[in-house]
Structure 1
Amino acid sequence: MARKKLETLTEQMFYVLLALRTERHGYGVMQYVARLTQERVTIGAGTLYALLDRFEKDGYIHRTRTMESRKYYVISPQGEERLQQEYRRIRQQARDMERALGEEEPL
């Protein structure tokens, strides 16, 4: 079954939106995600710039300024809502896992 457009976010998508809760340029997003996840999640330049372009077109982020060829972005209210939806979905999955692990026999 095909996934609906942005029904769920990939891990990289989630972390890009999370990083842009503070204004950052592309390289700053890459550094922040790597630092936050202790290098567990890294985002390559090609992936990052494709996501920034897509998120900007979808209205999830806004370009705030360009300085010395660096483009700065920040999450939009629509992007924040999408990020929160994904956070709720992930938390529900974790609750489901905890419930399943506590069962004596599967449902």
Structure 2
Amino acid sequence: MKRLKELPLTETTYYILLALLEPGHGYLIMEKVYEMSQGDVKIAAGTMYGAIENLLKQKWIASVPSDDKRRKVYQTTAKGREILSSEMNRLEKLLWVAKKMDCKGEE
């Protein structure tokens, strides 16, 4: 399988694409990322909105209709899911190679 030039993804991008598999607004995305990463990744508001703008330009996420007119809601697009799937495959391969090499750091 050919590796995509967009890979590897940053942790922030990876988690945002995952969080937006279901529609969500900025603050909800930040909460979901924090929860999914078990507190390892905390996205600041400025970072969040810069990332959203970038992901919109790349067409990895799109604005979707919302009942709440005060908040913009986004969702991962088919292209975003493709990128996310490719990144998951890349990470699985890295993990498989590491396990095969038994590189747990034990001596």
**TM-score w.r.t. length of structure 2:** 0.85
The aligned counterpart of 2:58 is 58
Which position in structure 2 is the counterpart of 1:93? 94
Question: Aligned pair 1:18/2:18, yes or no?
Answer: yes
Q: Report % sequence identity.
A: 31
Partners of 1:101 and 1:15 in 2: CA distance: 28
Q: Which letter maps to 2:78?
A: P
Q: Show the 5 A alignment for 1:24-39.
A: 24-39=24-39
Count of aligned residue pairs for this structure pair: 99
Higher relative CO (CA 8 A, sep ≥ 6), structure 1 or 2? 2
Give the structure with the larger strand fraction.
Answer: 1
Deviations for 1:61-106, whole angstroms, at most 9, x for unmatched residues?
110136343110001000000000000000001011111216xxxx
Moved over 6 A (4+): none
Task: Quote the residue 1:9 is aligned against.
Answer: 9
Q: SS of the counterpart of 2:34?
A: helix
Please identify, of 43-52 and 17-26, the stretch whose mean Cα deviation from structure 2 is larger: 43-52
Structure 1 residue ranges without an equivalent (≥5): 103-107
Unaligned regions of 5+ residues in structure 2, if any? none
